[in-house]
Chains A and B, each alone.
Chain A
Amino acid sequence: MTKFILRRLLWMILVMFVVSVITFGLMRAVPGGPFSREKPLPQATLDALNAKYRLDEPLIVQYLVYMGDIVVPRIGPQTVPSADEDYLIEFQLPAIFGENQSFKWVNFGPTYSARGRSVNDIFRENMPVSAQLGVAAFLVAVSIGIPLGVAAALNRNKWQDFGAMGVSIIGVSVPVIISAPVLQYLVGVQWRILPVTGWGTLNHLILPAFTLGFASSALIARLMRASLLQVMNEDYIRTARAKGVAESGVITFHALKNGLLPVVTVLGPLFAALVTGTFVVETVFGVPGIGRYFVTAVQGRDYPVVMGTILLYAGVLVISNLLVDVVYAWLDPRIRFD
């Protein structure tokens, strides 16, 4: 098990490397640049900006410098925080390394769209907001989705089933670009129950988390229902029933556990997608998360932010998939890690 996890973590590094190469290549192949403006900047200004961000160097050099700043740890005097030099990990070393030496690691570079701000600043200030919203939405999704799915499966073709599935189809087929402003208008403006936009209190969390979670719960409910129905017909459930295990016990300990398998598969990517933020919900509810940066960075050709956010997503995703695999093994002992 430990060996498996270690191997997957090593693999993660390779994944991140390949992701970074592909993203870098694709990003730079797309026309337009970070300083393309409706009012075009004069060539001299462009040259100065390109020189400032080293965009005038060969692509391979830019890539190596960029990755070097992220990957290679440094030792040196404590940095004055600036957009160009801002390390996620930095601490004072003991005196044996020399006077006033700090260990510095992981510098994602400056964002081009806000002077004086680093990608690490965005991670530090905006990522936690998205993560909190994402976790809340994930819990909403699971706590609506799984009971709905179970209820539907246990009452197959009864009104509970139709009701649960109807709700989930609404959840999945009404795009968030519609449901978010409608909920906002009804709950925030008409009924004045919750804040319209903003962030900071529990009340601010409710609407965006619900909007996001409800949309995702549909997928979980449907998968749960389907897989539970299938499991209920497996031989071992029949055996358990035949052995006289109480119906609720059958469901809880056997069917549910096995029925969760396909659901768990989708939970990993879902979790990763939710905690790294979402453009529409953050925009509509004015949540200062990182989701909007994913899109605006691509539109504004803010290369370091594009790279940073994609690598962040990739990292979160690989880790949550690893967790999924571990949960999988726990749910289905027949799967072994070898």
Chain B
Amino acid sequence: MKLTRFAAAGLMSAALALMGGVALAQDAPSVLVTTINMTADDIPTIDPTLSETVTSVDVLNHLFPGVTMSDVATGELELGIATAITPTPNDDGSVLYTIDLLEGVAWVRYNAESGAVEQVTDADGNPLFVTAADAVYGMTRALDPATAAPYSYVLLPFVTGAPEFNAGEADASTLGVSIVDENTYTILAPDSAAFAPAVFGLWMARPVPQIAIDAFGDSWTDPANIATYGPYALKEWVRGTGGSISVVVNPFWAGAENIPAATIEEVQWRFLDQPQAFAEYEAGNIQAIDVPVDQVPRVQADPVLSAEYYRGVEPCTYYLGFDNTEAPTDNVHLRRALSYSIDRVAIADNVLQIGWIAAGWFSRPGLNAAPTPELNPDLGVTFDLEFAQAELAIALEELGIANAADLSLTYSYNDTARNALIAQVIQQQWTENLGVTVAVNPMEGSTYFSTISEEHPGIARVGWCKDYNDASNFLYDVMYSQSSQNDVNFSNAEFDELVSQARLMTDTEERRALYARAEEILNEEEAAIAPLFWYAVNSLIKPNLEYVPSVVTNQAYNEWSFSG
């Protein structure tokens, strides 16, 4: 009955609204509404330990900053809630990291009744602060097999005893993480990988409130139960498409060296598809959005919108993986022919038009120690038709195939509008440039992802985005012959040696030289993959906002402000 009346009233007000026009409430300028990095779907979780999507991390960075963070403007690693991280090398090659936490960081919770952020207290009413115990608990929880944290595997190579504990073969006491005093803890890393501190600051390694988790279990992240400590506190979470998550300034956050206290009163992320976010942006209800891909040329041309437009780096690479062990893509000359005959620039400039850059290699420039076009001008795959055709001729001879058209090739991808576009262009380019016919095979997303990790199809599109800001996260973590992510079955002794060596070195330029050589092997000599594009982000931000353009995908809204 209630529903019916509601609906009937809706119809009447529809009529009234059409006649009179209804003034829409404008958001107060103290609230920033954003959809950057969001999708139409609800955020899966804001539990740092369990998060695995950009959407989750973007929000939780404001609630649970790490001991280290990437500077959003430069991508460089800097201290977060730690005041110092001191490595002490041991004789056996392992390194003991001593981490000092900022003192007096309060656990807080938003009180919906009073509308204020309050300190969380223990049973006796004493306020609680973030301690070394919380940090150790967070790391232990992430590695505990019972937690089944999807991203814990990133930590495994960096914490002594973690692989055994995570596999259920040893208990938590064997883990190389220990509390020294109230604000100091240590992590024993099995080797000297220089970027270990970057990993220690990742979301799954962050301090979490044991008191709330013990009391509320899975639902500890509900606004009424949660305890956070970052520059913002969780206010409200409306679940489902079109919903939102809101955070308010945490007055107890005094600011860390690199994590300033927030000036914008409230930040709200809305879960909307890009076209709807764009409509809301035009209507003035959302202040920061990702531009829908098809709107980019229009935005760039529009006199008003182009002034609010911002194009940034996104640390991801789009590539084609060849099956390096199965015919016919086990033939290196065929792989080279395919890779060198793709006109990446034409696709990026004429079809995608979203600022994606034709990629010559795998590790995205901008990552720490990754080769860059400026420093390594001769590196990488280019569009070289003559070379590609010569390679194809050799390949055909070796494969004993008379005619290029007799090659049987399939290009698989998970079916999205963009993947379909790119697949169709490349299909045509291969036909025109090499005379090979390639079948395109769009697959339903989940089917596709489970297929490529089990049995790699001949040619498959893949994307890889960084977990932590280092070239090793691309070259060692994905392409090392023993890596679980190495779906293309690439194996090259020199490459393995280079990336293993570079992983443990400290000098960035020396490492870059090794990675450049590794990329040369991966993309040019072996052509194990065909790198295609480096991603870009396209955002619109209202002119009354002063913002920090991000090169690390995630945003730091505590560094934004309204200019008046």
Residues of chain A touching chain B, judged by Cβ–Cβ distance below 8 Å, are 30-33, 35-45, 48-49, 51-52, 80-84, 110, 113-117, 121-122, 125-126, 129, 131-132, 135-136, 139-140, 143, 181, 184-185, 188-189, 192-199, 202-203, 205-206, 209-210, 282-290, 292-293, 296, 299-301
A196 to B40, Cβ gap below 8 A?
no
Question: Is residue B558 contacting chain A, with contact meaning CB distance below 8 A?
Answer: no
Set of chain B residues within 8 Å of A139, measured between Cβ atoms: 4, 7-8, 11
Which one of B45, B238, B242, B243 contacts A115 once the chains associate, using CB atoms below 8 Å?
Answer: B45
B217 to A288, Cβ gap below 8 A?
no
Identify 6 residue pairs between A and B in the complex whose beta-carbon atoms are under 8 Å apart, listed by A's number.
Answer: A125-B239, A136-B7, A184-B276, A184-B279, A193-B22, A209-B10
B283 to A115, Cβ gap below 8 A?
no
The total number of A-B Cβ pairs within 8 Å is 211
Chain B min CB distance to A131 (Å): 6
Q: Which one of B108-116, B267-275, B398-406, B500-508 is at the A interface?
A: B267-275
Q: 10 nearest interchain CB pairs?
A: A286-B242, A32-B446, A288-B240, A116-B218, A136-B7, A40-B453, A36-B449, A48-B148, A36-B450, A206-B14
Cα(A32)–Cα(B4), bound, Å:
42
Chain B min CB distance to A263 (Å): 19
B167 to A41, Cβ gap below 8 A?
no
B241 to A282, Cβ gap below 8 A?
yes
Set of chain B residues within 8 Å of A300, measured between Cβ atoms: 446
Chain A min CB distance to B436 (Å): 27
Residue ID in chain A nearest B478 by CB atoms? A39
Question: Is residue B397 contacting chain A, with contact meaning CB distance below 8 A?
Answer: no
Question: Is residue B330 contacting chain A, with contact meaning CB distance below 8 A?
Answer: no
With contacts A184-B276, A197-B272 taken as known, whether A136 is within 8 angstroms of B6 at the C-beta atoms is: yes
Question: Is residue B21 contacting chain A, with contact meaning CB distance below 8 A?
Answer: yes
Residue ID in chain B nearest A114 by CB atoms? B44
With contacts A31-B450, A33-B446, A116-B45 taken as known, whether A283 is within 8 angstroms of B273 at the C-beta atoms is: yes
B282 to A189, Cβ gap below 8 A?
yes
Chain A min CB distance to B483 (Å): 10
Residues of chain B touching chain A, judged by Cβ–Cβ distance below 8 Å, are 3-4, 6-11, 13-14, 17-18, 21-22, 24, 40-45, 47, 50, 52, 145-150, 152-153, 166-167, 216-221, 238-243, 270-273, 275-276, 279-280, 282-283, 285, 414, 444-453, 462-465, 484-485, 487
Set of chain B residues within 8 Å of A132, measured between Cβ atoms: 3, 6-7
A287 to B10, Cβ gap below 8 A?
no
A292 to B9, Cβ gap below 8 A?
no
B11 to A140, Cβ gap below 8 A?
yes
Set of chain A residues within 8 Å of B42, measured between Cβ atoms: 114
Set of chain A residues within 8 Å of B14, measured between Cβ atoms: 206, 209-210
Residue ID in chain A nearest B282 by CB atoms? A189
With contacts A196-B280, A292-B40 taken as known, whether A282 is within 8 angstroms of B239 at the C-beta atoms is: no
Set of chain B residues within 8 Å of A45, measured between Cβ atoms: 148-150, 152-153
Cα(A301)–Cα(B450), bound, Å:
11
Which one of B4, B50, B273 contacts A135 once the chains associate, using CB atoms below 8 Å?
Answer: B4
Chain B min CB distance to A200 (Å): 9
Chain A min CB distance to B347 (Å): 20
Cα(A205)–Cα(B464), bound, Å:
40
With contacts A42-B484, A45-B152, A113-B44 taken as known, whether A192 is within 8 angstroms of B241 at the C-beta atoms is: no
Chain B min CB distance to A281 (Å): 10
Set of chain B residues within 8 Å of A143, measured between Cβ atoms: 11
Residue ID in chain A nearest B285 by CB atoms? A196
A84 to B218, Cβ gap below 8 A?
yes
A82 to B242, Cβ gap below 8 A?
no
Which one of B3, B273, B450 contacts A131 once the chains associate, using CB atoms below 8 Å?
Answer: B3
